[in-house]
Amino acid sequence: MEEESIDKPAKKRTKRDENREKSQLLILRSSLELFSLKGYGSTTMEMIADRAGISRGLPYLYFESKDKILFTILERHFNREKEMIAELLKLEHKTSMDFVDAILKKISGPFEDGPESDPCLEMRLIMNMMLLPETKSIIQDWVLRFQSEIMESYFQDMKKNFAKFGIEKADEEISYLRMIFFGFTFCRLTMGDEFPTQIMQKRIRSNYLDWVDSKTPGR
């Protein structure tokens, strides 16, 4: 006779659990702001505690070191990106407009909540660290992991769509698309509201649609 499985009730969250989560999020946000503003190397655990408005020993209760905070921030960022890519890969591009809108969604998605949102600060942090020799080695493995585990599946899907819409030399187009992603992100992060976002989105849409339409038989 098979044993009946009994589902255990979910453990009820206590006030202590909620306070712990709030403290962790506060520490992560304060760290992210300082890493982006002052640089990872110049930020100390004491500075993080002061910015968060908590005792200087509290960050060590949740994170054993500054490195652990950084890795937690990066893991959260990459998981968010992975979820976005997974959603984009589910989309079916029936028309060239669907295809181009999906590209724009990938480019603009992280900026939906403004330049001071966690995704934007995370991207600014990653770019800053990659550009500095003293921090590049710390973050390089994470970026390579991001490219191999997350972005490659997206670009492989893009190659299929390039072929579907008659765009030749898919590898060259992927390189161009990478450049658009990086350039758009860099300009948005450095120029803020001065960057003509809507104009650039319109230009990208127009360029791709004109190209796709020119490759479509009968047009």
- Output the average pLDDT for the chain: 84
Would you say residue 3 has pLDDT above 50?
Answer: no
Average pLDDT over residues 17-40: 92
Please classify residue 139 by burial: count the beta carbons closer than 10 Å to its beta carbon, then call 0-12 exposed, 13-18 middle and 19+ buried.
buried
Half-sphere exposure of 99 (CA within 13 A, CB side): 24
* Distance from the first to the final alpha carbon of the chain: 69
Tell me the C-alpha to C-alpha distance, in Å, between residue 214 and each of 37, 118, 165, 167, 217.
45, 40, 10, 9, 8
CA distance 184 to 197: 9
The pLDDT value recorded for residue 213 is 61
Q: In this structure, what DSSP letter does residue 56 have?
A: T
CA distance 182 to 26: 29
Q: Using one digit for the tens of pLDDT, what is the confidence trace for 5-18?
A: 455 555 676 877 78
The pLDDT value recorded for residue 125 is 93
**Cα–chain-centroid distance for residue 10?**
31
Q: Provide the pLDDT confidence category of residue 219 given band limits of 50, 70 and 90.
A: very low
Q: Which of 113, 147, 143, 114 is nearest to 128 (CA)?
A: 143
Q: Using one digit for the tens of pLDDT, what is the confidence trace for 102-152?
A: 888 888 888 888 888 999 999 999 989 988 888 898 888 888 888 787 788
H/E element, 15: helix 15-38
